[in-house]
Amino acid sequence: MYDFTACIVTYNTNREELAQIISCFQKTKLKFKLWISDNSEEDSLRNFINNLSNDRIEYIFNNSNNGFGSGHNVILEKLMDKNCKEKAEFHLILNADIIFEESTIEKIVDYMRKNSDIGQIGPKIYESNGEVNKSCRLLPTPLNLIFRRFCPIKSVVDKMDYDYEMRWCDYNTIMEVPILSGCFMFIRTDVLKTVGMFDTRYFMYMEDYDLCRRIGQKYKVIFYPEVEIIHEHGKASYKTRKMMMAHINSAIKYFNKWGWFFDNERKTRNKECIKRYKK
């Protein structure tokens, strides 16, 4: 049995990034299995990854791009199978552009083993410029995810982001939050068996919010700043029109599922979080 399993979904991913994240895993002393689930058009990474790795790392070519969540579900389906040989206490879903230190996962595993009510945990995230990523979120409203993109008044957008990104909280404090960044989702495997896999109606973006929200309905979702990672390419959806439209399309699907302006769960959980942490 492994201490944890992990999966990275790739799509025409930079080889240097893959080599870098694989080297991070190879430093851990825990017993793990890492899958590279490739949504690219061509099976061009197989030899590259096989030359970098060993039996703890497995490459899977999906031969199609059905989306980020679908790429991860290829692996999650294996883990959900009762006959699965790669059994593990925890599963890590992460992006390829992540850097973490040798003891990072050991510290997370230790903390989760001491706190069995935690379903998902997220570390403190630094951007490549050294700034702390405001990775904790309230459950979003349509104003947060769609309308602010088209608002020309910067002061209005900044005020919305101040509340939504919980900029008023102390990012050095362990907190139970409604939403965590999807770039590094460390989840108890049994929790995934309870709440299910990624919702594949989202091709790209919002699938992490949706899964995190479902976990938070039954378990604690914890921001754990005692460990730190670097996320090199955050906010990619702001950089191209194509990515922005993909994000908006997924946001529409999210609100169609959970509710646009009438969402009692959103109202209750956000109110509880603000009351607990906003000074």
Domain encompassing residue 112 = 2-136+176-236
The answer as to whether 271 is a domain residue is no
d(CA 87, CA 44): 29
Backbone angles phi, psi at 236, to 5 degrees: -65, -25
Asked if residue 77 belongs to a domain, the reply is yes
CATH number at residue 180: 3.90.550.10
- Residue 109, domain member (yes or no): yes
Long-range contacts at 45-53 (CB < 8 A, ≥ 24 apart): 45/10, 45/13, 45/15, 45/18, 48/15, 48/18, 49/18, 49/22, 52/18, 52/19, 52/22, 53/22
| Residue 152 counted as domain residue | no
Q: Are 32 and 54 in contact (CB under 8 A)?
A: no
- Total domains in the fold of the chain: 1
In a domain, 94, yes or no: yes
Cα atoms in the Cβ-side hemisphere of radius 13 Å centred on 204: 17
Structural domain includes residue 56: yes
Q: What is the pLDDT along the chain (279 residues), one digit of tens a residue?
A: 889 999 999 887 778 888 899 989 988 989 999 999 999 888 888 888 777 667 788 899 988 888 899 999 999 998 888 777 778 999 999 999 999 998 999 999 999 999 999 999 999 999 988 899 999 999 999 988 777 676 666 777 777 788 899 999 999 999 999 999 999 999 999 999 999 999 999 988 999 999 999 999 999 999 999 999 999 875 554 567 778 888 889 999 999 999 998 999 999 999 999 999 987
The residue behind tokens 């995190």 is 212
Cα torsion 53, 58, 61, 67: sign: negative
